[in-house]
Amino acid sequence: MRLPRPVVLGNWKMNGLVDDARALVGAVKARAGDAPTGTLGVFPPATLIERAREWVAGAPIFVGAQDCHHAPKGAYTGDLAAPMLAEAGAQAVICGHSERRQYHFEDDATVRAKADAGLGAGLKVVVCIGETEDEYLAGKTLERLDAQLAGSLPEGSTAGDVVVAYEPVWAIGTGRTPTDQEIEAAHGHIRARLVERFAEGGDIAILYGGSVKPSNAKAILATSNVDGALVGGASLDADDFWAIYEAGLGASG
């Protein structure tokens, strides 16, 4: 089933202790009311997932995890398996965020195995792809996206359980973004690949991520084939996060 647009997800990264997190979720919940028309999600650190589910109770906000291990259990000290995250209350998991690819050396096969594990545990999966600055400057963006799409996305991905997030690595946390034309070209390319490969490829949500903020959200979210945003830094401020969501209401391509 196609996720309602816009799909706006907040990746808190390694930020959030109980008091601040409760206040942040409470402030988003207060704005969300009963029935926003899109899809709104927060991805706190794993330590807060269970509490976050309690805080969002009654509001149309889902809660996800930022990563999972590919195995269901085993001798992997410090890791968390997808079924554990699901049991803690996670409803989705981000796989292959560039910070995982960069700092934890995750390759496409690992990301794909994690995504499969997430789906196996009943979670929606948000698969992140995106070129590095060197690849961007060398004009290799689409080539890189092709490789990541082919290697990272689970077979049989459907519009109800898989989201693709296009996040240029050089745009994450830098305040820099591609031009609207570049975003349109990348998203159009991703859409074509999804349609080629999956029966529901035309309906799988493609999010843009990388320095989205209230001031640029309207233009980005109105771009063709941009179905929403994966928001990092700005998701830690309820006003900014909500402004981005509002910018997307009725604007997604």
Active-site amino acid positions: 97, 167
Q: 41 vs 233, which CB is nearer to ligand PEP?
A: 233
Give the integer Cα–Cα distance in Å for 55 and 155.
34
Give the integer Cα–Cα distance in Å for 4 and 243.
18
For residue 162, give the DSSP letter: E
Provide the β-strand partners of residue 208. Answer: 166, 229
By CB under 6 A, how many residues form the interface with ligand PEP? 14
Q: Can you tell me which residue has the tokens 């941009």?
A: 226
Q: Which of residues 148-177 bind ligand PEP (CB under 6 A)?
A: 167, 172-173
Percent of the chain that is helix, strand, coil (3-state, to 5): 45, 15, 40
* Residues 41, 92 contacting (CB under 8 angstroms): yes
Q: 98 vs 252, which CB is nearer to ligand PEP?
A: 98
* Residues 205, 228 contacting (CB under 8 angstroms): yes
209 interacts with ligand PEP by CB under 6 A = yes
Sign of CA dihedral 214, 7, 164, 104: positive
Q: Which of residues 20-79 bind ligand PEP (CB under 6 A)?
A: none
Q: 83 vs 211, which CB is nearer to ligand PEP?
A: 211
Task: Report the residue from 212, 221, 226, 251 that binds ligand PEP according to the rule CB under 6 A.
Answer: 212
231 interacts with ligand PEP by CB under 6 A = yes
- In the complex, the smallest distance separating the C-beta of residue 187 from ligand PEP, rounded to whole angstroms, is 15
Q: 8 vs 159, which CB is nearer to ligand PEP?
A: 8
Return the range that interacts with ligand PEP (CB under 6 A); candidates 81-89, 114-122, 155-163, 226-234: 226-234
Query: For ligand PEP, what does the binding mask look like between residues 123 and 142, x meaning CB under 6 A?
Result: --------------------
- In the complex, the smallest distance separating the C-beta of residue 150 from ligand PEP, rounded to whole angstroms, is 22
Q: 83 vs 234, which CB is nearer to ligand PEP?
A: 234
* Residues 175, 211 contacting (CB under 8 angstroms): yes
Residue 32, judged by CB atoms within 10 A of its CB (0-12, 13-18, 19+), counts as: middle
Provide the β-strand partners of residue 206. Answer: 164
Stretch (H or E) spanning 216: helix 214-221
* Residues 38, 228 contacting (CB under 8 angstroms): yes
- In the complex, the smallest distance separating the C-beta of residue 58 from ligand PEP, rounded to whole angstroms, is 27
Q: Which residue is nearest to ligand PEP (CB)?
A: 232
Q: 83 vs 238, which CB is nearer to ligand PEP?
A: 238
Return the range that interacts with ligand PEP (CB under 6 A); candidates 14-22, 68-76, 80-88, 224-232: 224-232
243 interacts with ligand PEP by CB under 6 A = no
* Residues 125, 154 contacting (CB under 8 angstroms): yes
Sign of CA dihedral 21, 25, 26, 28: positive
Would you tell me which residues interact with ligand PEP (CB under 6 A)?
Answer: 11, 13, 167, 172-173, 209-212, 230-234
